[in-house]
Amino acid sequence: MVVSKNRSPCNCLPSCCSAASIPFKIGSKYTLRKIKPCYVQSGRIPVTAGLPTFAKREAVTKAFSKVGNPFETPIKSILNKYICTMNNTHQQYFDANKEGWNKRTDIHKASAFYNVEAFKKGASSLNTMELEEVGDVKGKSLLHLQCHFGMDTLSWARAGANVTGVDISDTAIALAKEINTELQLNGRFVCCNVYDTAAHVAEQFDIVFTSYGTIGWLPDLTPWANMIAQKLKPGGFFYIADFHPTLWMLDENMEKLTYSYFNDEVIVTEQKGTYTDRDAPIEYKEYGWNHPFSELFTALINAGLQIEFLHEFPYSPYNCFANLEQGADGMWRFKTMDNRFPMMYTIKAIKPM
């Protein structure tokens, strides 16, 4: 996700969370109290998709004012109406992001950043870091989440993996299928929301892989982590390489702390161009969320995965932020910062036998 100077908090609330919260009145104020997932799962409260874990009191009060007095209306009715409202809002976020990625794909496929022609001639789009940390994939099944138009997915296929790529953008998936057919590789590509992967992909995999600018499009990591655990074979592993959460606290110029480290608001970005071409003639609105390491690790651990390692790095393999300079090793760092600021991380997590 590319940060824009127009990035600003939205008063809407995300709806995809594992624990529900409802307002209770204490004196003249409202507060949020969580409904434990066990109550939801037992059927005592008919919740099919949770309510937001993080919410502002004013936003919750406003939402409930539209469905009636929460202290006079039966709680089941309140919850069902609120869930419906929030799910519809959440889908609007996804629809807007899909539109943005469709527009980006048309620009990306012709960009020097992706260099599709070099890829078609045999170049790998994977970085040395991923290749070394994931290891030998020959004969293994690999599920690539949020794969864009599949260059990394097909690079794993060239390395010997049996690959499936998933992405929300139908334009990107169509291009991935086109490249796969042209190169006569074994990739399979599915267009769906990453949260819905299990409904579209039946089998389990040796490896679930995702990289660079992925989880920032997701409001809640709990259902995401649960899906990953579901799609892994026992003994298989999940691997993520992504930009460090501290990066998303900075402004567009990467100079000032501007945004929360924590996942306490949906962030709206008015975009022009894209990270491969700032002057590209496209405009779109996108919605994103910041995720602290505590949220990420808790989601993976609660899904039953065992963390094998967390690695942090003071550089990026891509020149996609402001105020970067390239070092002798080919990596990009903030000017004047040397190796003092974290820019990316990798995590490997195992599903026990």
pTM (2 d.p.): 0.78
Place of tokens 């760092």: 333
Return the closest-CA partner of residue 287 out of 99, 23, 32: 99
Q: What would the CATH number be for the domain defined by 125-350?
A: 3.40.50.150
What are the tens digits of pLDDT across the range 282-309?
999 999 999 999 999 999 999 999 999 9
* Residue 241, amino acid: A
pLDDT digits (tens, 9 = 90+) for 9-44: 343 333 343 434 333 333 333 233 333 333 333 333
Please name the residues in contact with 182: beta carbons below 8 A apart, sequence gap of 6 or more. 120
CB atoms within 10 A of CB 160: 14
Residue-range domain boundaries for the chain = 125-350
Could you tell me the pLDDT band of residue 233, with boundaries at 50, 70 and 90?
very high
Residue pair 152/212 in contact (Cβ under 8 Å)? The answer is no
